[in-house]
Amino acid sequence: MKHEPIRVAEADKRPHLIVIGNGMAGCRAVEELLARDPARYRVTIVGAERHVNYNRIMLSPVLAGEKTFDDIVINGRDWYDSNGITLIAGDPIVAIDRAARTVTSRGGIVMHYDRLLIATGSDPFIIPVPGKDLTGVISFRDMTDVDAMLAAAEKGGSAVVIGGGLLGLEAAHGLSLRGMTVTVIHLMPTLMERQLDEAAGWLLKTALEARGQTIMTGADTAEIVGDGRVEAVRLKDGTEIPADLVVMAVGIRPSVALAREAGLEVGRGIKVDDHMVTSDPAILAVGECVEHQGQVYGLVAPLWDMCRALADGLVDAPSGYTPAPTSTKLKVAGLDVFSAGDFSGGDGAEDIVLRDASRGIYKRVVVKEDRIVGAVLYGDTADGNWYFDLLRRAESVADIREALIFGQAFATGGALADPKAAVAALSEEAEICGCNGVSKGQVAACISMGAHSLDAVRAACKASASCGSCTGIVEILLALTLGGEVEAGPKTMCKCTSFGHDDVRREIVAQGMRSIPEVMQKLHWTTPDGCSSCRPALNYYLLCALPGDYVDDQQSRFVNERMHANIQKDGTYSVVPRMWGGLTNPRELRAIADVVEKFNAPMVKVTGGQRLDIFGIRKEDLPAVWADLNAAGMVSGHAYGKSLRTVKTCVGSEWCRFGTQDSTGLGVKLERATWGSWMPHKFKIAVSGCPRNCAEATIKDFGVVCVDSGYELHVGGNGGIKVRATDLLCKVATEAEAMEMCAAFIQLYREEARYLERTAPWIERVGLPYIQARLLPDAAARAELARRFFFSQQFSQDDPWAARVEGGEREQHAPMARFEPVAARQEEMA
């Protein structure tokens, strides 16, 4: 039988304002209205939740046990009563009748309104995976969710939080404090990517892991597994994580269903004008459910501004809402994270970065035309509000720019704004280098004893030799003590750091660093994500230090190493398959010929490195070309790589009337052993069968010249811009010794040369005697170098072409979309 609607008596003659939503924006709007004109409207607030108005953002501290529900109530019963507000709690509105101007609640209450305010907030987004409806899968939006989490936590066990944004991390933190084993699954490569840059995201991840949480980034949920209730979460890569509780915190969607059914204009949110009026003049909307100028919001600060504009409009004193930048803080005790404005940089924007690894601090302020446009702070957020204030007021920071990053106290501290004066004013005992405990007096003494450059100071007293954060101060001390005589420091890797290549390499190994963001943080990079010089170098250094363990960063590689082919001036690629030792056979030649015809390659050429180069291949066709070459047994020739290129050979003893040894055979063996290895620069090998040296072994990085009694091993030669003939390293009697020496030499080069330093300049820098001392007298040390080389080769001798043919990183070759403008043009004309 149909329910008779309950009609509410309407004795009060004032216009009736009904508010749908008893949340943060709805109640704040009423507060603002009451402050302007308490008598103007008769107010009714209808809330789906059975609670009075509470502070939703404090649900996290409630979950973490730092607050109780009573602590977070904003307006208790007495507020409603004393202001004559009718509260209908726990009974959501299910329909709006705009023609009749009534709303109907689920319980059947029908009320007439003169003005209606929709403040329904957001709905948690539930990712549409199998198992999403299982018992034990909850979201994090209201007190009911918190109660459910607390009940689950009481039983202990494992929780999986899907989503590594603000909400997810706060949920994870709370559950972890409540004793659950917590895993966070995040789709993106870094945590809170919308608020934090990669550097801060990395610091945050490290800190949470140190607290015992498991953080999985780049992880895509495939399914929630369980029979009636949740048992595990399965990722797309097959990993299964046991779970007694799953919290979905992947995002929110404006709650617009009611408004849409009522026929209001709705985009992503309910569309409102500057006065928070919807497409129906009698209906207003405010909070997370609205869309204003194409924007929707997920933080409270802009909602407060909206509520002010709304109340001004309701009392006929319209002001209008203007969007303002927002800031975010993570509410996890002991982890200070702050982000504000736009830190994407863009044009004319300049980053000022301060990193202090020993104190776990990262600060980045983005300045554009002398104004702060964004800030990310990690570890020390004390100045967050100051930066945010400067940002909002668009105040010029030209005068305090030098000291801006050190914070308000320093930047506005008068004399201290001059860093030189500040250092001069320090006492002799003042500690300059925290890592090595070096005082100003000690640094000064070391300078007067002859350490006249940064490098010399680092060597003499270790100041600034570890994390480098005091480099600036040491440089000022050098300038103060020596006047103009400071010697130019070591060449730094690039403008992103004050460290040279050798320092960086040493510290990567010494501190066991494992990723590019970690190196940038620990060594105080002055840019957020490096540049095209340091990123490839760091990627190589890490790859070399952590064979088999380090995950190569494709985006830190030059295009040729990403596409496994050589880019040409017209944007096509050339393809060079490996021909071991310069040998080939009909099958390979046929396959190459077929590829040339099939893909219309405009040119094939014999290279200077004894193999064939196919030109003019389109990026899209590369995988298909490789598939055909692979089918004939050929693999990548790495003609593009900072890696082994070719092993050039001559015919040798097998055919040549002068040949002394099997130079071709040894060349093939050397190439089989060394191909695929990543190196500081390209590396070429040649084996000549006699001193006539037809393979030009004496202008190669490693050259073998066969003689009757064995093998002369030569190193450090190249052709190219500055020709350098090799130095004779030593002479050995057997092939096996030649192979071992080659491996040991390559490994020494891999571990000690600077990125983009070929063997010739490296040997000129360190001297042949040094290389000989490392390789010749100590057989065990040499064997160990060779062992390290072969160990790392285990992980690099996979044909990169084959992986792409299998479908790996296919997207690198395919366009994202195709667009046929022809039809469009016609339509435009029509």
Partner 1 sequence: MIGEWLDIGWVEEIPLRGSRTVQVAGGEDIAVFRTGENKVFALLDRCPHKHGRLSQGIVHGGAVACPLHNWRISLATGEALGADKGCTPVVPVKISGGRVLICRASTLRAAA
Ligand X SMILES: Cc1cc2nc3c(=O)[nH]c(=O)nc-3n(C[C@H](O)[C@H](O)[C@H](O)COP(=O)(O)OP(=O)(O)OC[C@H]3O[C@@H](n4cnc5c(N)ncnc54)[C@H](O)[C@@H]3O)c2cc1C
Please tell me whether residue 61 binds ligand X under the rule CB under 6 A.
no
Distance (Å, rounded) from C-alpha 405 to C-alpha 354? 7
Please tell me whether residue 536 binds partner 1 under the rule CB under 8 A.
yes
Please tell me whether residue 752 binds partner 1 under the rule CB under 8 A.
no
- Considering beta carbons, is residue 215 or 283 the nearer one to partner 1? 215
Here the tokens at position 201 are: 């995201």
Reduced to 3 states (helix: H, G, I; strand: E, B; else coil), residue 754 is: coil
Q: Torsion angle of alpha carbons 28, 32, 35, 38, nearest 10°?
A: -90
The β-bridge relationship of strands 42-47 and 16-20 is parallel
From 28-36, 330-338, 422-430, 561-569, span contacting partner 1 (CB under 8 A): 561-569
Here the tokens at position 642 are: 């900072």
Q: How many CB atoms lie within 10 A of CB 569?
A: 5
Distance (Å, rounded) from C-alpha 512 to C-alpha 821? 53
How far does CA 641 lie from the centroid of its chain? 25
Please tell me whether residue 96 binds ligand X under the rule CB under 6 A.
no
Q: How many CB atoms lie within 10 A of CB 807?
A: 8
- Considering beta carbons, is residue 501 or 681 the nearer one to ligand SRM? 681
- Considering beta carbons, is residue 251 or 472 the nearer one to ligand X? 251
Among 535, 645, 682, 714, binds partner 1 (CB under 8 A): 535
Please tell me whether residue 830 binds partner 1 under the rule CB under 8 A.
no
Residue stretches of the annotated binding site for [4Fe-4S] cluster = 650, 656, 690, 694
Q: In the bound complex, what is the minimum distance in angstroms from residue 328's beta carbon to ligand X? A: 7
Residue stretches of the annotated binding site for siroheme = 694
Reduced to 3 states (helix: H, G, I; strand: E, B; else coil), residue 768 is: helix
Here the tokens at position 355 are: 């990193």
Question: Residue 645: which of partner 1, ligand SRM, ligand X, none does it interact with, CB under 5 to 8 A by kind?
Answer: ligand SRM
- Considering beta carbons, is residue 23 or 641 the nearer one to ligand X? 23
Please tell me whether residue 576 binds ligand SRM under the rule CB under 6 A.
yes
Binding mask 165-204 for ligand X (x = CB under 6 A): --x--x----------------------------------
The answer to whether 11 touches 292, Cβ cutoff 8 Å, is: no
Please tell me whether residue 268 binds partner 1 under the rule CB under 8 A.
yes
Residue with tokens 């290279």: 607
Question: Residue 569: which of ligand X, partner 1, ligand SRM, none does it interact with, CB under 5 to 8 A by kind?
Answer: partner 1
| Sequence-distant (≥ 6) Cβ neighbours of residue 770 within 8 angstroms | none
Q: How many CB atoms lie within 10 A of CB 519?
A: 23
The CA–CA distances, whole Å, from 771 to 530, 683, 779 equal 32, 17, 14
Per CB under 8 A, contacts with partner 1 among 607-626 are: none
Please tell me whether residue 657 binds partner 1 under the rule CB under 8 A.
no
Q: Is the dihedral of CA 296, 298, 302, 306 positive or negative?
A: positive
Q: Using CB under 6 A, count the residues that bind ligand SRM.
A: 22
Here the tokens at position 578 are: 């490996």
Residue with tokens 């103060």: 480
Residue stretches of the annotated binding site = 650, 656, 690, 694
The answer to whether 160 touches 246, Cβ cutoff 8 Å, is: yes
Please tell me whether residue 605 binds ligand SRM under the rule CB under 6 A.
yes
**Nearest of 420, 421, 387 to residue 404 by alpha carbon:** 387
The answer to whether 387 touches 411, Cβ cutoff 8 Å, is: no
Among 16, 23, 636, 711, binds ligand X (CB under 6 A): 23
- Considering beta carbons, is residue 498 or 574 the nearer one to ligand SRM? 574
Here the tokens at position 664 are: 């071709």
Residue with tokens 């040798």: 652
Through-space distance between the first and last CA atoms of the chain, rounded to whole angstroms: 58
Per CB under 6 A, contacts with ligand X among 265-324 are: 287-289, 298-301, 303
- Considering beta carbons, is residue 530 or 703 the nearer one to partner 1? 530
Please tell me whether residue 381 binds ligand X under the rule CB under 6 A.
no
Please tell me whether residue 102 binds ligand SRM under the rule CB under 6 A.
no
The β-bridge relationship of strands 438-439 and 431-433 is antiparallel
Distance (Å, rounded) from C-alpha 367 to C-alpha 400? 12
Q: In the bound complex, what is the minimum distance in angstroms from residue 565's beta carbon to ligand SRM? A: 8
Binding mask 328-347 for ligand X (x = CB under 6 A): ---x----------------
**Helices marked H in 577-707:** 586-598, 622-631, 663-674
Question: Residue 821: which of ligand X, partner 1, ligand SRM, none does it interact with, CB under 5 to 8 A by kind?
Answer: partner 1
Strand partners, 117: 19, 284
Distance (Å, rounded) from C-alpha 674 to C-alpha 662? 18
Here the tokens at position 748 are: 């020494």
Please tell me whether residue 754 binds ligand SRM under the rule CB under 6 A.
no
Q: Using CB under 6 A, count the residues that bind ligand X.
A: 35
Among 719, 736, 783, 808, binds ligand SRM (CB under 6 A): 719
DSSP state of 357: T
Binding mask 197-216 for partner 1 (x = CB under 8 A): xx------------------
- Considering beta carbons, is residue 28 or 611 the nearer one to ligand X? 28
What is the binding site for ligand SRM (CB under 6 A)? 566, 568, 574, 576, 605, 607-609, 611, 613, 639, 645-646, 648, 682, 684, 699, 718-721, 758
What is the binding site for partner 1 (CB under 8 A)? 187-189, 193-194, 197-198, 268, 343-347, 349, 351, 527-532, 535-536, 554-560, 562-563, 567, 569-571, 811, 815-825, 827
What is the binding site for ligand X (CB under 6 A)? 20-26, 46-49, 56-57, 59-60, 92-93, 119-121, 140-141, 167, 170, 255, 258, 287-289, 298-301, 303, 331
